[in-house]
Chain A
């Protein structure tokens, strides 16, 4: 009987890094998109909305397939990425960030839109009528008032980013020590009969998820969304 192999924590740290970067990107770009959807009318808005919602209904494998085609080394985005960073994007941990982004972005945008819409428009109008530009109004009025709501969503987003399996598997692959994230590592452990590793990682993911949900909940509980009074 050999003693149990020491637990390899690499997947956990990789997942945390991937989720953190994905959440940062979702927070910045997702908030921008949600702002456009909640505050602007433009041509093709309905189309943009459905494209954004699409990842929620498509199977992860289909999304992964699209990404693979889109980012392949001979595709335009793939070539550009390789020119800039000197290495291909697919089958790297950076691709896992993109996968997590696609996985958590749509839900964030949908909910963030609601949070931004809940900011009393009269406060934004008041700012405009006092002479404030749209940027000033966004950064000094809308964003501070939506801050708690958005950070609560960001922590949910982080939790969801940790959990992506399908898309990551397709575009980042399952390279131990390089692209193997938590959920992929668990799949791998179960497949190869390493029950101890699977159990440990499952517990770690669950504990993290509970922690993040609690954080998100306590942020919303105190969130006062821009109401007057």
Chain B
């Protein structure tokens, strides 16, 4: 679905300037807390009225500052999944779903039965939210949102506070959900896994501004600024200088960490440019090739998916436990950086 979202909102101590222009099934708003993600989501849902701008979802105009159009939340058909699900505590699961159906003016017994069945809630219809587990509450909240045949599904950090197993289960659930609806998914998160798993189009927010937006692979392959690379937290950002450029063979040489490294051609940069090389921590590989540079390991940090190595010069890499077995702090090891993975940023 097409979304054209461009708004400004001024708050006493915060200025939001947010733009999402995409044609996609799932948008992720990623950023640290206080970046303006939830405020953006609330503008989309209609709970917060922007100061100026325009919100167009599909063919529906939700807000237009110039003409004063502001469609109230109840007419926007947004399935808003709140952080703690916001199931009505005084109603049973069934009552929660029928409330939604009546409120939206779409009562359908067939749909109700379908959703209860699809989300494994049939046995739980007469329970109140307090008698449900976290995962069951999540299923009930999603089913309730789908009762209104939403135009959009807005998710505010849905897996925050869930353990890894429940997080997996949620991603699976969302995949099933997406098969049942063509609603645009807008997800707010600062969890990279969630971002990778669900996002197609990604907007990175920092202190009220979009610092980079684009398709997931493009954003993660080449962060647009040093700030983006640092805030994602999975990149090396190493001072470097371009020594050699060859557009014909798509080659370059970069001087960093005291030696010379192969890289791809960097369009728009010149020989002698100083800046930063960026590459994923997982793009750094141990090497046995005598021609490769050796650096010494400063520290080894066991980590959920392997071992994180810190090298001299501020370099970091993630390798598997078996590879790390023979390494000790102080070991000098040859390494390689996949040339195609290296990006170059002037600032």
Nearest A residue to B141 via CB reads A126
- A130 cross-chain contacts in B, Cβ below 8 A: 74, 79, 99-100, 103-104, 144-145, 147-148
A125 and B104 within 8 A (CB): no
- B53 cross-chain contacts in A, Cβ below 8 A: none
B82 at the binding interface (Cβ < 8 Å): yes
Identify the stretch in A67-75, A80-88, A208-216, A221-229 within 8 Å (CB) of chain B at 4 or more residues: A221-229
- Known contacts A130-B99, A130-B144, A131-B100: A123-B74 contact under CB 8 Å: no
- B248 cross-chain contacts in A, Cβ below 8 A: none
A129 and B84 within 8 A (CB): no
Identify the stretch in A139-147, A165-173, A187-195, A196-204 within 8 Å (CB) of chain B at 4 or more residues: A139-147
- A131 cross-chain contacts in B, Cβ below 8 A: 74-75, 77, 100, 103-105, 148
Nearest A residue to B47 via CB reads A125
B85 and A228 within 8 A (CB): yes
A133 and B74 within 8 A (CB): yes
- A128 cross-chain contacts in B, Cβ below 8 A: 47, 72-74
- A8 cross-chain contacts in B, Cβ below 8 A: none
A126 and B82 within 8 A (CB): yes
How many angstroms between the C-alpha atoms of A175 and B100 in the bound complex? 56
- B105 cross-chain contacts in A, Cβ below 8 A: 131
From B75, B85, B86, B104, residue with most partner A Cβ within 10 Å: B86
Give the distance to chain B from A127, nearest Cβ to Cβ, in Å.
7
B266 at the binding interface (Cβ < 8 Å): no
Give the distance to chain B from A106, nearest Cβ to Cβ, in Å.
29
Give the distance to chain B from A126, nearest Cβ to Cβ, in Å.
4
B86 and A132 within 8 A (CB): no
- B77 cross-chain contacts in A, Cβ below 8 A: 131
Q: Is the contact region of chain A dominated by helix, strand, or loop, or is it mixed?
A: helix
- A132 cross-chain contacts in B, Cβ below 8 A: 74, 99, 103
Interface residues, chain B, with chain A CB atoms under 8 Å away = 45-47, 72-80, 82, 84-90, 99-100, 103-105, 129-130, 144-145, 147-148, 154
A129 and B90 within 8 A (CB): no
Give the distance to chain B from A139, nearest Cβ to Cβ, in Å.
11
A122 at the binding interface (Cβ < 8 Å): yes
A-B contact count (CB 8 A): 77
Give the distance to chain A from B13, nearest Cβ to Cβ, in Å.
19
- A125 cross-chain contacts in B, Cβ below 8 A: 45, 47, 73, 80, 82, 86
Interface residues, chain A, with chain B CB atoms under 8 Å away = 120, 122-123, 125-133, 136, 140-141, 144-145, 224, 226-229
- B84 cross-chain contacts in A, Cβ below 8 A: 122, 228-229
- B144 cross-chain contacts in A, Cβ below 8 A: 130
**Closest 8 A/B residue pairs (Cβ):** A132-B103, A131-B104, A126-B86, A129-B80, A131-B103, A130-B100, A128-B73, A228-B84
Give the distance to chain A from B188, nearest Cβ to Cβ, in Å.
14
From B45, B73, B76, B77, residue with most partner A Cβ within 10 Å: B73
Question: What would be 20 A-B contacts, judged by CB atoms less than 8 Å apart?
Answer: A123-B86, A125-B80, A126-B80, A126-B82, A126-B88, A127-B88, A127-B99, A129-B47, A130-B74, A130-B99, A131-B74, A131-B75, A131-B104, A132-B99, A133-B103, A136-B103, A141-B88, A227-B89, A228-B82, A229-B89
How many angstroms between the C-alpha atoms of A224 and B74 in the bound complex? 27
How many angstroms between the C-alpha atoms of A196 and B347 in the bound complex? 93
Inter-chain pairs besides A131-B104, A131-B105, A140-B99, 18 sampled, C-beta below 8 Å: A122-B86, A125-B45, A126-B80, A126-B82, A126-B86, A128-B47, A129-B47, A129-B74, A129-B80, A130-B74, A130-B100, A131-B77, A145-B90, A224-B89, A226-B89, A228-B85, A229-B84, A229-B130
- B129 cross-chain contacts in A, Cβ below 8 A: 228-229
- B82 cross-chain contacts in A, Cβ below 8 A: 122, 125-126, 228
Give the distance to chain B from A37, nearest Cβ to Cβ, in Å.
20
- B47 cross-chain contacts in A, Cβ below 8 A: 125, 128-129
- A126 cross-chain contacts in B, Cβ below 8 A: 80, 82, 86, 88
Nearest B residue to A120 via CB reads B86
- B75 cross-chain contacts in A, Cβ below 8 A: 131
Give the distance to chain A from B128, nearest Cβ to Cβ, in Å.
11
How many angstroms between the C-alpha atoms of A229 and B131 in the bound complex? 9
Give the distance to chain B from A204, nearest Cβ to Cβ, in Å.
38
How many angstroms between the C-alpha atoms of A227 and B85 in the bound complex? 12
From B45, B80, B147, residue with most partner A Cβ within 10 Å: B80
